[in-house]
Amino acid sequence: MAVLAAGTLALDDVVTDEGSVSGVPGGSALYFTAAASLFTVVRLVGIIGDDFPREELDFLRERSVNLDNLTQLQGEKTFRWGARYETDMNIRRPFRRELNVSEHFDPILDDAGRNADIVFLANLEPAHQLRVLDQMTAPRFRALDTMECYIRDDPDGLKKVIERCELLFVNDSEARIITGEVNLLKAARKLLGMGPRYVLLKKGDHGSMLVAPDFTFAAPAYPVETVVDPTGAGDSFAGGVMGYLAREESCGPDDLKKAVVYGSVAASFCVEDFSIRKLKKITLADIEARMALFRSMTTW
């Protein structure tokens, strides 16, 4: 089963203790797709300028990503974003944000996109996320991610998207801001009250927690010795989760628990290099090998 993914495609500038890069491919939808396309066909919804590297589009085609809903505007620049990470990589200081083509974004889906069964709304303005949802005919499973700027700038729009999705990906600090609850389990319960069937709390290198009304499932982050760049960890985590669900064509509680572990493994590869470099190099066999190691680390 294919997964429809809408989000940003970007050129990023990133500085960490391990080095720095400038103008490398990024964006919430690109990281998501680089991970999800290991599992299934992704229909990518987004916008880029004519400066977006051709070899990245070639890579997406090689991974069988469908680009029919990707708009490229000639004479325009791709969304640009930059951030510097502290030695504690949970602390990120953004220093650049240029909307460029994103200002003209109006996602219009083709027939195959409208009829998709599974949809992931990656970090994107809530108005655009809603625009995608409004065009879908009968999706079986809808998931969204969000970030602090959208919680601050358009809380009402965001609430409307959350209400209409089955699964909310949210990091710990965002969950606290939305709900006003410090305790994460309480925050998750409040978020469930807003409409979704599941809340998936991301806690950076502390792992993740899937919360439903009738169960809680906690997974550690896969331990990585050298984190080069944590950018896109959340998006590639979501790519592993949604890619696995789409491949299994099933989104029940047990599928979701296993999907969370696949997500952790996908994210662990993402952070081992800048941009999507590592995610481009790996195959599903690498994911499965790390799944087996992960199992041996967490079973007793």
3-state class (DSSP) for residue 93: strand
> In which region does residue 177 sit, left (phi positive, over 0), alpha (psi from -120 to 50) or beta (all else)?
alpha
**Which of 6, 8, 188, 211: binder of ligand AMP (CB under 6 A)?**
8
Asked if 81 interacts with ligand AMP (CB under 6 A), we say yes
Stretch in the footprint of ligand AMP (CB under 6 A) among 44-52, 126-134, 209-217, 225-233: 225-233
Nearest residue to ligand AMP on Cβ basis: 26
Residue whose CB is less far from ligand AMP, 146 or 179: 146
Residue whose CB is less far from ligand AMP, 270 or 282: 270
Strand order in the sheet with 215-219: 70-73, 42-49, 3-6, 118-121, 141-145, 167-171, 198-202, 208-212, 215-219
Asked if 234 interacts with ligand AMP (CB under 6 A), we say yes
- What the block records as the tokens of 252 is 């029940």
Pairing of strands 167-171, 3-6: unpaired
**Which of 139, 232, 239, 243: binder of ligand AMP (CB under 6 A)?**
232
x/- contact string, 145-174, with ligand AMP (CB under 6 A)? --x-x-------------------------
- What the block records as the tokens of 10 is 């970007």
Stretch in the footprint of ligand AMP (CB under 6 A) among 25-33, 35-43, 158-166, 187-195: 25-33
| All residues at 6 or more sequence positions from 54 whose CB lies less than 8 Å from its CB, including other chains | none
- 126-136: string of b/e by CB count within 10 Å (b at 16+)? bebbbbbbeeb
Site residues (CB under 6 A) for ligand AMP?
8, 10, 12, 26-28, 81, 123-124, 147, 149, 231-235
